[in-house]
């Protein structure tokens, strides 16, 4: 790096932490880390700071947690810091033009997909749900749209057969941190040319809610296996046995055919759970009951009777 940049970092969840740490390790001057306010978390609703706050405090970086970012007071506070560039990684809010236009080099965002594919808040989950073999991270210059700004550079990341949204999240966050340093060096030196996104190729990755995790057994087994991987750990894939909610963490499609009703438990070995789908059979490998813990299917079945003919819904 020829010259360190003065940077305001904006990010909130664990996905943003490697990028913040990479900026510090590269010798850039992080003037402030702007993150969401502490929020109540868990059953006890304990007030909990976001991961970026933890990281910034450990690195000795001043932390700002504004309730609102579209105020004149916050704009003045940012302007007083006089940053060269704004770095935004999973901050969680759309930034106003007053902030985007503040730094001389603009605002750089790291997004967890190969833009313009999967614009929006849940690109990692949807890449898995849709059965993609490859995804990646993109560095872009932000505008006032949702992930619509011109791209600077990107890096592909292969999706492994065993990936869940948790494991893919971790690899993409590390790839994004490396890409961020490359993007900043190219932006500062003028060796990167921003490329306008082709909106005709754009797809959207909407935010997922807990209700979205319900398994639709009429879908093909291969699609359901991808769906479960994408929903793990959040919001979680689930089905019902009567009024009991069963959360499914891992499953695999089988090379078997059936004309049974989708959701019907099929005959199999004592230590396996085979379920009919709209096309093929899905073998459940890890599951959790309402009041239990995550178990391998053989352990779960020792205490829960799901005989052939049982209908999951």
Domain at 234, CATH number: 3.10.25.10
220 occurs within a structural domain: yes
Secondary structure class of 230 (helix, strand, coil): helix
311 occurs within a structural domain: no
Instruction: Tell me the pairing of strands 29-34 and 63-64.
Output: parallel
Q: Are residues 133 and 250 in the same domain?
A: no
Mean pLDDT value across the chain: 96
Q: What is the pLDDT of residues 186-238, one digit of tens each?
A: 999 999 999 999 999 999 999 999 999 999 999 999 999 999 999 999 999 99
- Does the pLDDT of residue 311 top 90, yes or no? yes
What DSSP letter does each residue of 92-155 carry, written as one string?
Answer: SSPPPHHHHTSSTT-EEEEESSSTTTTBSS-HHHHHHHTT-SEEEEEEEE--SSSS-SPEEEEE
Q: Are residues 124 and 261 in the same domain?
A: no
Mean pLDDT, range 260-281, rounded to an integer: 95
What is the per-residue pLDDT for 180? 98
Q: Are residues 234 and 196 in the same domain?
A: no
- Does the pLDDT of residue 147 top 60, yes or no? yes
310 occurs within a structural domain: no
309 occurs within a structural domain: no
Give the total number of structural domains in the chain.
2
Round to whole Å and give the CA distance between 57 and 41. 20
What is the per-residue pLDDT for 170? 98
Nearest Cα residue to 283 out of 248, 234, 246, 233: 248
Q: Are residues 215 and 195 in the same domain?
A: no
Share of residues in the chain with pLDDT > 90 (%)? 91
pLDDT higher at 92 or 177: 177
pLDDT band, residue 269 (cuts 50/70/90): confident
Place of tokens 């999967």: 118
- Does the pLDDT of residue 1 top 70, yes or no? no
Mean pLDDT, range 158-186, rounded to an integer: 98
pLDDT higher at 285 or 270: 285
- Does the pLDDT of residue 43 top 80, yes or no? no
What is the extent of the structural domain holding 177?
6-201
Burial 89-108 (b: 16+ CB within 10 A, else e): bbbeeebeebbbebbebbbb
- What the block records as the tokens of 252 is 């695999």
Q: Are residues 245 and 125 in the same domain?
A: no
Mean pLDDT, range 300-312, rounded to an integer: 94
Q: Are residues 173 and 221 in the same domain?
A: no
What is the per-residue pLDDT for 291? 80
Mean pLDDT, range 247-253, rounded to an integer: 97
Burial level of 212, CB count in 10 A (0-12/13-18/19+)?
A: middle
Round to whole Å and give the CA distance between 270 and 73. 65
Last residue of a domain, one of 184, 201, 218: 201
Q: What is the pLDDT of residues 272-291, one digit of tens each?
A: 999 999 999 999 999 999 88
308 occurs within a structural domain: no
């Amino acid at each position: 790096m020829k010259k360190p940049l003065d940077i305001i970092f904006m990010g909130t969840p664990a996905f943003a932490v490697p990028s913040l740490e990479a900026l510090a390790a590269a010798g850039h001057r992080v003037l402030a880390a702007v993150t969401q306010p502490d929020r109540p978390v868990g059953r006890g609703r304990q007030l909990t700071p976001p991961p970026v706050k933890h990281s910034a405090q450990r690195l000795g970086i001043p932390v700002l947690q504004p309730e609102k970012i579209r105020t004149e007071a916050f704009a003045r506070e940012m302007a007083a810091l006089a940053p060269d560039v704004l770095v935004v990684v999973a901050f969680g809010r759309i930034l106003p033009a007053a902030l985007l236009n503040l730094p001389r080099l603009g605002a750089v965002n790291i997004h967890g997909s190969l833009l313009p594919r999967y614009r929006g808040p849940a690109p990692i989950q949807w890449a898995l749900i849709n059965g993609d073999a490859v995804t990646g991270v993109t560095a872009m210059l932000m505008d006032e749209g949702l992930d619509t700004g011109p791209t600077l550079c990107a890096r592909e990341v292969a999706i492994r057969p065993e990936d869940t949204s948790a494991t893919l999240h971790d690899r993409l966050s590390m790839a994004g941190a490396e890409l961020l340093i490359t993007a900043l060096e190219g932006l500062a030196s003028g060796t990167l040319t921003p490329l306008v996104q082709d909106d005709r190729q754009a797809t959207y990755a909407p935010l997922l809610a807990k209700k979205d995790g319900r398994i639709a057994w009429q879908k093909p087994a291969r699609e359901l296996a991808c769906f479960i991987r994408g929903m793990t750990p959040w919001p979680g894939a689930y089905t019902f046995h009567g009024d009991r909610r069963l959360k499914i963490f891992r499953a695999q499609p089988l090379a078997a055919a059936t004309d049974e009703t989708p959701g019907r438990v099929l005959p199999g070995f004592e230590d396996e759970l085979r379920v009919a789908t709209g096309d093929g059979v899905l073998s459940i490998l890890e599951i959790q009951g309402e009041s239990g813990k995550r178990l391998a299917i053989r352990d779960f079945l020792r205490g829960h009777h799901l005989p052939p003919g049982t209908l999951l819904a």
